Structure 1
Amino acid sequence: MVAPAVPELTEEIIHESIDARTESLISLRELGPPDLVHLLKQNLRSTGKHIGVYHHVTGVDASSSASLAAYINTLTYKEFGQSAIAKTLEGTYCCYNAFSRVDMRVHAPFPGSVESYCVDERGEKRKATDELWLEAYLCSVLRAYSYADDGSGDTIRKIMGVRRFNPVTSTETEHRFLSAAEQLFFRGWQLGSDSVVQVPNIVSNHLTTGLLKYFHTTGRYASGINLFEKLRSQNVEVASLLAKVLFMGNEEVEGARVLYEALKESPMDYVMLDTQAEFLLKKAHTAAAPEQKEERLRMAQGCADRSTIAAPSEFGTWARLAQVYVAMEDWENALTILNSCPMFTYQDKDAPLMPEPKEVNLPTLPETRLDEIDSEPESRYSEQVDPSLVNLRAAAYRGTFKQAYSILTEMTAKIGWDQLLKIRSNVFVMEDEYRSEKQETGQQAYPAKRNASTDALRGTPDPTANGEAEAEASGDEGDETNSADKKVQKEADSDSSVPTLVVNGKPEDIERPSSAVDPEEAKKAETEGANEDQLSRLNNKRLCERWLDSLFMVLYEDLRVYTIWRTQMAQYRAQSMQYKKSAEEWEILGCLAERLQHTDEAVEAYRACLSQRFSPKALSGILKVFEKNKSTRETIAATIRLVTWQYRWYSEFSPELLHTIRTLIEDEGAVKVRSIIQATNLPQNVLDLTHHYAALCATFRSSGTDG
């Protein structure tokens, strides 16, 4: 298999990329940026001139200095710039060790002996020990999976010039990876966790996320079960991970038994309770009889409710409970629980902070040439886009905000916007209600503080855990949405279909409402014979968190643009006219429809985009539908093009695309899949790239492969 081309970014000042990386070490909070490879070259046309070039890479074997030096050696005598041949004088490879927070470096002069060392956050050199190399190796594998592209091209476009390799290509390298993971497993919390996890622990961190993604991608469930069985004997909490792998491998009875036995020993482990709730929710969706579905949802609700008590400050537990209520069609409770979710500022993956390069050389290998893909960059940047489509803020949501918005759109897709507004007015205090209540109660004094989350579920062991803390935790995202909402808020306020909320107890120019009347005032009112219903009218409702009100405004804007699009489409069709949009606009409309869970309309927009130019995002959106509908030939045709596009931009490895090929082989058999690939009317060099993914499945002896 031919290796991807080597992108080259030329430095303005020699070694400035390495210096910039050293300076950024102190600010790294996640797994670290992709590995940096720096080469000092001499242009043979001007012998005295030295030039520094660099690129980034993931998936290279970082288990020793020798393996990194071998990678540098593969880069020697490559083309430099447009056509000049350059001689490589020396190379430096930098690989971040997120456990010990040091940068492992290998310096290889040509000719000369290899030097290996590490640099700490202060920029000081330290000795590179075997333990540090073990940690660096494990981090490099996790980065390869974490920073890989999902097929849509979004990750590839974030950082320029990154070569992506598959870090585990055989059962031998798998053994090395899992052995390193076993040795360092109980230190995994040091790596941090996904942005939806508030506090990393031994079963919720980047290491466990990477392991689960590896088993899901490759289907090597037996290896995962073996690993977690050994680790469970040391700590019962690992049972949740063991159960997840058992569920992946369709060993559902054994997975349920593992959770049952573990919860008897640790009844308030929130990850195990959440795993149970997730499993029951999935089984409820596939239940044939309504009674069976209802019973499973009732059990899922019990597990999810208990997990929120076990971990009241974790977003995932509350989100799961909200999902259960949505499945139960208990809309008021779903909205109440969603309002109680603690929100966290999104922490993006560490990205390299490099100075502006002097030159950028992004070569293309002949093996990746495909006309429809090659024409994409030129046409992409010449397209006009309607400003109303560019400013849809829901497209930028990440982490907890993205998941919460997904729950809100699921409710809207099921019951409609008007019904959602009615439920919202039943659950939350509306401004007109508050005004009339304030007039009726006269100068009734209320306590100054009321919080939406503590109102949502009374009697939880730690009611303040989901209170003001999450409003502060939402940080930048909350502040951004507040100012950006004003325009939409005015438009919404003028529309009778969007009534105004009292948000987090802070309405415009209105005194804050309270959750309960002051006990002294209540006693006085009671003795004076005041109307008890009048006093408690607002007490039965909650205050809407500011972030959730912002989500309603963003959803309103999404629905407004979507409705305009569909109305215009209908009008044009009625008049037998063509509805024209640029490819970029069709791509945005497809994402909008997908976000609002209108699958057919999303596919329609994506197809319109692809009819004008190639778009990996549009094609990956359609691919999801092909997979769901078991459309084998269409799935393979889409995968071939996505694999080729990825390879064109120096990525030979996408876990999602590998998973797609593996599931196709499981369903149809390797011979049929290879035959369909080969029968496709595309150049052989392009087909070979996808054959490479199929060969990986054979190497891992996936179900459906020969032998």
Structure 2
Amino acid sequence: MVAPAVPEITEEVIHESIDARTESLVSLRELGPPDLVHLLKQPIRNPGKHVGVYHHVTGVDASSSASLAAYINTLTYRDHGQAATMKIVEGVYCCYNAFARLDMRVHVTIPGTVESYCVDENGKKKAATDELWLETYLCSVLRAYSYADDGSGETIRKIMGVRRFNPVTNTETEHRFLSAAEQLFFRGWQLGSDSVVQVPNIVSNHLTTGLLKYFHTTGRYPSGINLFEKLRSQNVEVASLLAKVLFMGNEEVEGVRVLHQALKELPMDYVMLDTQAEFLLKKSQSAAAPEQKEERLRMALGCADRSTVAAPAEFGTWARLAQVYVAMEDWGNALTILNSCPMFTYQDKDAPVMPEPKDVHLPTLPETRLDEIDSEPESRFSEQVDPQLLNLRAAGYRGTFQQAYSILTEMTKKIGWDQLLKIRSDVFVMEDEYRNEKPEYPKNRNASTDGLRGTPDPTATNGETSEDEEDNDEEVEGKESKPADSESLAPTLINGEKDEGLEKPSSTVDPADVKKDEAEAVSPSPFLITVLIYREQLLTNVQGANNDDHLSKLNNKRLCERWLDSLFMVLYEDLRVYTIWRTQMAQYRAQSMQYKKSAEEWEILGALAERLQHTDEAVEAYRACLSQRFSPKALTGILRVFEKNKNTRETVAATIRLVTWQYRWYSEFSPELLHTIRTLIEDEGAVKVRSIIQATSLPQNVLDLTHHYAALCATFHSNGTDG
């Protein structure tokens, strides 16, 4: 199979990219950045001059110094063509070991020797051992999956010039990968975890995430079951991972049995309880009768509730409980639980920090040339975009905030915005209520004379919030009043019209205001102040003997966290823009006029509709975008719908174009696209899928790129590859 082209980023000062990587080692938090390959070139006709170029890469075999040196040698062969004017004289391959916090490096002199060593956070050289190479290899495979693109191109565009390879291409390399994972499994927590996990443990970390993603992508469930069976004999907590792989492989009865037995030994293991709740929630969606659905949701509620008790500081357990309440259509409790979720500031993946390059060369491989794809880069930068669309904050949500927003949009989709606001005012203390019924505290009030309701719960905080989530209403209103770009040729979303029928959410009480008011009224007593602050944040209703007449309406309500209040305002912005868009579309159609937008505006509107869970409208916007230019994000959005609706030919056509675009930007491996091809083969058979691929009117060199994914499925003996 043809390898992707090699991008070249030229340095201003030779070796400055390596120096920058060394300086950044101290700030790396998790798996580390993609591997760095630095090459020293010299002109054939001027041996005294040297030029430093580099690129990044993932998925290269990092099990030894020899395998990394071999990669550099493959680059020298590519430069020895008839038209070559430069030759490689030196190469350095840098690969980060996240276990030991060391950067493994291989220095190749051509012709000459190979030297391997490692560099610590202080820039000091150390000897490379076999154990360090084992750790480095495992980190390399995990990075290949972590930094792989999902087809939308968002990951590819984050870091310039990254070649992406498949780290596991056959059963032999799979055995090596799983063997390394088995040896280092119980140290996986050292690698950190996804941003939605507060505290990494042996079953919630980057290693287990990578393993589950590998089994999901390739369908190699027997290998996963075998691995986790062996690890479960050493630690029963691994039963949650074993059950997840069993569920993936449709061995649900065995998966339930595994969880049942493990929970007898560890009844308060939150990961196993959450796995049970997730399984029951999924099964409730396919229940044959309402009574059956209710029973499954009731069991899911019990598991999810216990998991929050077992891990009150984890976002995932509270989010699952909120999802169960949404499925039960218990909207009040769903909002209350969502308000109790611990929120964490999103930490993005480690990315390389490089100095400004002297030159950038991004070559195009002839095999990836396709007219509709090649025209994409030029056209997308000349498009006019309505500022209203660029200012939608929800598009930038990641981690816990993205998941919480998804739960909120699901509720809105089911009950509507007006009903959601009504439930919000029933659950939370609104600002006007608090101001009208705020009690007048006597100046001599103290802890000994007050009848206090409830007990303080200092652990019930909601974690950190980012600056974006703490924006106040005035900032949102400022964005609303921002004028549209006068130079834009596309119609704006406002056009002087009001978004009638969409009520703007009123303000809830800021917990900081309550703290200020009550702290000023009460004589200095830290214990009393703490009680008053957290009293209304308790998850359960606290019944007290002494009822305060002034707080009669507020006693059964909660204080809405600032981040959730911000989410309501952001949701209002999304709904406002969406409503105006759909209203204008209807008006234009009624007048038989064409509704014109730029391709990027259609792409943003498609993402907006998808975010609000309006699938048909999202597909409509994405199609309008693709009618003007190629967009991997838009095509990926449509592909998800094709897969869901089992539209085989449309799925194949979309996949071919996305695979070609990936190769165009130096990526021969996308787990999501490989999973799509594997699923098609399982459903339709390899012969039919290959025939559909071959029957398209695209050039053969383009089709061969997709055939490569199908060949991988045959190598792994996926279901359907026999016929």
For the criterion TM > 0.5, the same-fold answer is yes
| Secondary structure class of the residue paired with 2:76 | coil
| Secondary structure class of the residue paired with 2:459 | helix
Counterpart-to-counterpart distance in 2, 1:489 and 1:421: 20
Counterpart-to-counterpart distance in 2, 1:176 and 1:482: 54
Matches within 5 A, 1:51-450: 51-79=51-79, 85-438=85-438, 441-443=439-441
Contact 2:473 2:569 (C-alpha < 8 Å) held by counterparts: no
Counterpart-to-counterpart distance in 2, 1:463 and 1:668: 56
| Secondary structure class of the residue paired with 1:105 | strand
| Secondary structure class of the residue paired with 1:675 | helix
- Structure 2 match to 1:584: 600
Contact 1:505 1:543 (C-alpha < 8 Å) held by counterparts: no
CA shift digits 1:199-231 (9 cap, x unpaired): 000000000000000000000000000000000
Counterpart-to-counterpart distance in 1, 2:533 and 2:134: 56
Contact 1:446 1:516 (C-alpha < 8 Å) held by counterparts: no
Are 2:44 and 1:44 aligned?
Answer: yes
Contact 1:447 1:516 (C-alpha < 8 Å) held by counterparts: no
Identify if the C-alpha distance between structure 1 residues 328 and 126 changes in structure 2 by more than 3 Å, giving closer, same or farther.
Answer: same
Deviation at 1:288, TM superposition (A): 1.3
Identify the match of residue 505 of structure 2 among 477, 494, 498: 498
Deviation at 1:433, TM superposition (A): 1.0
Are 2:551 and 1:544 aligned?
Answer: no
CA shift digits 1:234-253 (9 cap, x unpaired): 00000000000000000000
- Structure 1 match to 2:465: 474
- Structure 2 match to 1:608: 624
Contact 2:418 2:503 (C-alpha < 8 Å) held by counterparts: no
| Secondary structure class of the residue paired with 1:541 | coil
Counterpart-to-counterpart distance in 1, 2:589 and 2:549: 55
CA shift digits 1:145-187 (9 cap, x unpaired): 0110000000000000000000000000000000000000000
Counterpart-to-counterpart distance in 2, 1:104 and 1:168: 21
Deviation at 1:539, TM superposition (A): 1.2
Deviation at 1:83, TM superposition (A): 6.9
Counterpart-to-counterpart distance in 1, 2:346 and 2:557: 30
- Structure 2 match to 1:521: none
Deviation at 1:526, TM superposition (A): 9.0
| Secondary structure class of the residue paired with 2:117 | strand
Contact 1:77 1:87 (C-alpha < 8 Å) held by counterparts: no
Deviation at 1:296, TM superposition (A): 0.3
Counterpart-to-counterpart distance in 1, 2:653 and 2:26: 45
Q: Which runs of 5+ in 1 are unaligned?
A: 450-454, 518-524
CA shift digits 1:307-361 (9 cap, x unpaired): 0000000000000000000000000000000000000010100000000110000
Identify if the C-alpha distance between structure 1 residues 575 and 53 changes in structure 2 by more than 3 Å, giving closer, same or farther.
Answer: same
- Structure 1 match to 2:487: none
| Secondary structure class of the residue paired with 1:539 | coil
- Structure 2 match to 1:25: 25
AA paired with 2:694? Answer: Q
Deviation at 1:85, TM superposition (A): 1.9
Contact 1:164 1:652 (C-alpha < 8 Å) held by counterparts: yes
Contact 1:78 1:86 (C-alpha < 8 Å) held by counterparts: no
Identify if the C-alpha distance between structure 1 residues 526 and 169 changes in structure 2 by more than 3 Å, giving closer, same or farther.
Answer: closer
CA shift digits 1:390-426 (9 cap, x unpaired): 0101000000000000000000011110000000000
AA paired with 2:396? Answer: A
AA paired with 2:263? Answer: L
Contact 1:383 1:583 (C-alpha < 8 Å) held by counterparts: yes
| Secondary structure class of the residue paired with 1:538 | coil
Contact 2:144 2:167 (C-alpha < 8 Å) held by counterparts: yes
AA paired with 1:140? Answer: S
- Structure 2 match to 1:520: none
Identify if the C-alpha distance between structure 1 residues 614 and 664 changes in structure 2 by more than 3 Å, giving closer, same or farther.
Answer: same
Are 2:583 and 1:567 aligned?
Answer: yes
Counterpart-to-counterpart distance in 2, 1:514 and 1:424: 20
- Structure 2 match to 1:553: 569
Identify if the C-alpha distance between structure 1 residues 90 and 600 changes in structure 2 by more than 3 Å, giving closer, same or farther.
Answer: same
- Structure 1 match to 2:649: 633
Are 2:472 and 1:465 aligned?
Answer: no
Counterpart-to-counterpart distance in 1, 2:414 and 2:185: 42
- Structure 1 match to 2:528: none
Identify if the C-alpha distance between structure 1 residues 482 and 400 changes in structure 2 by more than 3 Å, giving closer, same or farther.
Answer: farther
AA paired with 1:215? Answer: F
Identify if the C-alpha distance between structure 1 residues 611 and 282 changes in structure 2 by more than 3 Å, giving closer, same or farther.
Answer: same
Counterpart-to-counterpart distance in 2, 1:548 and 1:501: 10
AA paired with 1:466? Answer: A
Counterpart-to-counterpart distance in 2, 1:348 and 1:426: 36
Contact 2:470 2:562 (C-alpha < 8 Å) held by counterparts: no
- Structure 2 match to 1:619: 635
Counterpart-to-counterpart distance in 2, 1:170 and 1:663: 18
Contact 1:446 1:514 (C-alpha < 8 Å) held by counterparts: no
Identify if the C-alpha distance between structure 1 residues 255 and 445 changes in structure 2 by more than 3 Å, giving closer, same or farther.
Answer: farther
Contact 1:447 1:514 (C-alpha < 8 Å) held by counterparts: no
Identify if the C-alpha distance between structure 1 residues 78 and 210 changes in structure 2 by more than 3 Å, giving closer, same or farther.
Answer: same
Counterpart-to-counterpart distance in 2, 1:466 and 1:386: 41
Pairwise CA RMSD: 2.6
Counterpart-to-counterpart distance in 2, 1:444 and 1:580: 64
CA shift digits 1:447-475 (9 cap, x unpaired): 999xxxxx9xx89xx943232xx34x224
Identify if the C-alpha distance between structure 1 residues 182 and 638 changes in structure 2 by more than 3 Å, giving closer, same or farther.
Answer: same
Contact 2:31 2:191 (C-alpha < 8 Å) held by counterparts: yes
- Structure 1 match to 2:478: 487
Contact 1:8 1:362 (C-alpha < 8 Å) held by counterparts: yes
| Secondary structure class of the residue paired with 2:513 | coil
Identify if the C-alpha distance between structure 1 residues 84 and 444 changes in structure 2 by more than 3 Å, giving closer, same or farther.
Answer: farther
| Secondary structure class of the residue paired with 2:241 | helix
AA paired with 1:33? Answer: P
- Structure 2 match to 1:642: 658
AA paired with 2:367? Answer: E
Counterpart-to-counterpart distance in 1, 2:720 and 2:467: 48
Q: Percent identity?
A: 81
Deviation at 1:498, TM superposition (A): 1.8
Q: Which runs of 5+ in 2 are unaligned?
A: 448-452, 483-497, 520-531, 537-543
Counterpart-to-counterpart distance in 1, 2:292 and 2:511: 39
CA shift digits 1:632-678 (9 cap, x unpaired): 00000000000000000000000000000000000000000000000
